[in-house]
Chain A
Amino acid sequence: MKILVPVKQAALVEDDFELRDDGRDVDPDFVDLQLNEWDDYSLEAALQLKEANDGIEVVAVTVGDDDTEDALRTCLAKGADRAIRIWDDVIADADPLVIARVLAAVAQREAPDLVLAGTQSSDLGFSATGVAMAAFMGWPHAAVVVALDYAPGAATAIVERELEGGLRERLEVDCPAVLTIQLGINTPRYASLRGIKQARSIPIEELSPDELGLEDQDIGEQARGSRVREMYLPDKGQAEMIEGTPAEQAARIAAIVKEVMGG
């Protein structure tokens, strides 16, 4: 059986940054890339299923340009069996619905038994891609999963979703399904040196949307659910900044504590 894990190479914006010339995103010069935090957990969930059962193949997939290959290398180093990268310049600045449409086409080709996506991306935080992907595939889905009980080949999985305030919901989901995995479901492993070395020799399959049978109407401008008109820096809050040495700053904090709390 096969588990498909969509992963995103997420953008970590540096402390001081500037916007791109067109004003619609952060200038890539001020961005470091890192595997989306949530995807560490979904990959780990897939790897744990693989280790507990015979014959499970874990396939990591990303929709991204050359710079996103590292995300897949990380997945391979941790134990994913295969990695797929899809790209075409028309996808640049795509919205989650287009990404989901591409991922759905990959799933159609790979025919996995389970898709484990992340609950959200740490950079843009849409919390949309996994569920949109399920909708394009016509699959059942459950979002914000913090516990997963699934035996390969079973008709259903028992999962727990984490709701507001720490409340949980236990539910049964028909499989195959798309689950979006939440932080804390497991403790993600680090890649071993051996794994990192081995991962270098595993080829990454590169595909274009065209090769997946996608056409311009599926992924072009008109397929987007939204478009960024403009990005801007939010107004600074009203915070009064406490300057000085750590000792001076601490003295002021202590004074505020005593003033507000009394004593």
Chain B
Amino acid sequence: MAQGILVIAEQRRGVMSPVTQELIGAARAVKADIGGSLSVAIIAGDPKALADSVKLDGVDEVLLLPVEANEFQPDLHVAAALQAVEERDPALVLMSHSVDGWGYGAALAVRAAAGFATDVFAIQVDDGEVVAVRGAYGERAHAKIEFPGRERVVLALRPSAFTAAEGATDCSVTTLAVPDTAVRSRHLEFIDPPSEGGVDIPAAEFILSIGRGVGEEENVEEFAELADQVGAVLGCSRPIADAGWLPKARQVGYSGKTASSCRLYLALGISGSVQHLAGMKHIENIIAVNSDANAGIFNVARYGVVGDMFEVGQELRQHFD
């Protein structure tokens, strides 16, 4: 019978991604309930070079799976992960719900005939059975997911939702051979984001961000003026940048910037999608203005205003010269 946990590490450009530590932390938390050991698989051109970074508390074994590509390649990733699954027969496989995770997780689940859930932010074990918790409908509901009849479950975990494992440990390191695999896509190059044009969201201490609630492009200007007036840097959610209403450098979130230095974040007309929250939910003082009292943004905000961003915005201008 399948037993134990397999974590599939994530790396890019030769650096272990921080989410890997969270995957290990999540695994460690349920290890006793699942039973068996905890193995961490590193799939990379030179996995050995990354081995030390995953020897963390709770890990019993590091599996090195060398492949003929330095950067993520879905065919090789699936083949290598399947090899590790076959050799260790884990009951639970944990991977990241990240861009690369989306690039192979579902294919792995299909090929391994495993149960599968994505964007999981909590794991419970009920009577030895894995139950995953994820969001639904823009985080307005949560769902407990079960996997009847599945001996093995692959869970793609939401980044920043689990506590990272710490504390070095000494554990065995084993190299597994990855079977010959047809490689049907090839990494050509990375393209770094364009220069910021003077906009520095990560350095900003006060950000006023607008979302789709702004409605139309011609309304953006009044919020640019408001930001100026209150002394905030203007930020935005993705649809505003995608539409070209504001430059990409102002986008806060998973595929945009993280508001790392921010002390106050004023979110106007932003619903609070997981990907927007990824760039700002850590901020201590979040004020959210939204016309929908059930908007997910209120779950992370310190202060909430149910109202119209235009009305509130205009009134706010009276308080600043």
A interface residues (Cβ-Cβ under 8 A, vs B): 11, 13, 15-17, 19, 26, 95-97, 100, 119, 122-132, 134-136, 140-144, 158, 160-174, 177, 180, 183-184, 187, 221-222, 224-234, 236-242, 246-247, 249-254, 256-257, 260-261, 263
Contacts and interface: CB of A to CB of B under 8 A. Distances in A.
A262 to B, nearest CB: 10
What DSSP secondary structure best describes chain A's contact surface?
mixed
A247 B315 contact: yes
A54 to B, nearest CB: 27
B116 A97 contact: yes
A125 to B, nearest CB: 6
Nearest to A119: B102
A158 B115 CA distance: 33
Interface in B290-315: 292-294, 298-308, 311-312, 314-315
24 contacts: A13-B137, A95-B116, A97-B109, A123-B137, A127-B102, A131-B105, A131-B107, A140-B184, A163-B100, A164-B255, A171-B185, A221-B149, A225-B117, A225-B147, A232-B142, A234-B139, A237-B298, A239-B298, A239-B304, A240-B304, A247-B315, A249-B315, A261-B205, A263-B231
A172 B186 contact: yes
A135 B104 CA distance: 9
A169 B191 contact: yes
Interface in B236-291: 238-239, 241-243, 248, 251, 254-258, 263-264, 266, 274, 285, 287-289
Interface of B: 12, 71-72, 74-75, 78, 97-100, 102-107, 109-111, 114-119, 131-132, 135-150, 184-193, 205-206, 230-231, 238-239, 241-243, 248, 251, 254-258, 263-264, 266, 274, 285, 287-289, 292-294, 298-308, 311-312, 314-316, 318-320
Given A124-B137, A234-B140, A246-B308, 18 more contacts: A13-B140, A126-B118, A126-B119, A131-B74, A142-B103, A160-B191, A166-B257, A171-B185, A173-B185, A177-B185, A225-B114, A225-B115, A239-B302, A240-B304, A253-B289, A254-B316, A257-B264, A261-B206
B109 A127 contact: no
Nearest to A124: B136
Contact of B106 (A131, A174, A232, A261): A131
Per CB-CB distance, the 6 closest pairs between chain A and chain B, nearest first, are A250-B315, A254-B319, A166-B193, A140-B184, A184-B242, A237-B299
Given A165-B193, A250-B312, A229 B145 contact: yes
A136 B110 contact: yes
A240 B301 CA distance: 8
B235 to A, nearest CB: 14
Contact of A164 (B98, B188, B239): B98
Contacts of A252: 303
A227 B105 contact: no
A127 B288 contact: no
A232 B117 CA distance: 17
A228 B147 CA distance: 9
What DSSP secondary structure best describes chain B's contact surface?
mixed
Contacts of A164: 98-99, 254-255
A128 B118 contact: yes
A215 to B, nearest CB: 16
A131 B105 CA distance: 8
Contacts of B254: 164-165
B316 A225 contact: no
A132 B110 contact: yes
Contact of B102 (A143, A160, A224): A143
A132 B106 contact: yes
A167 B102 contact: no
B227 to A, nearest CB: 11
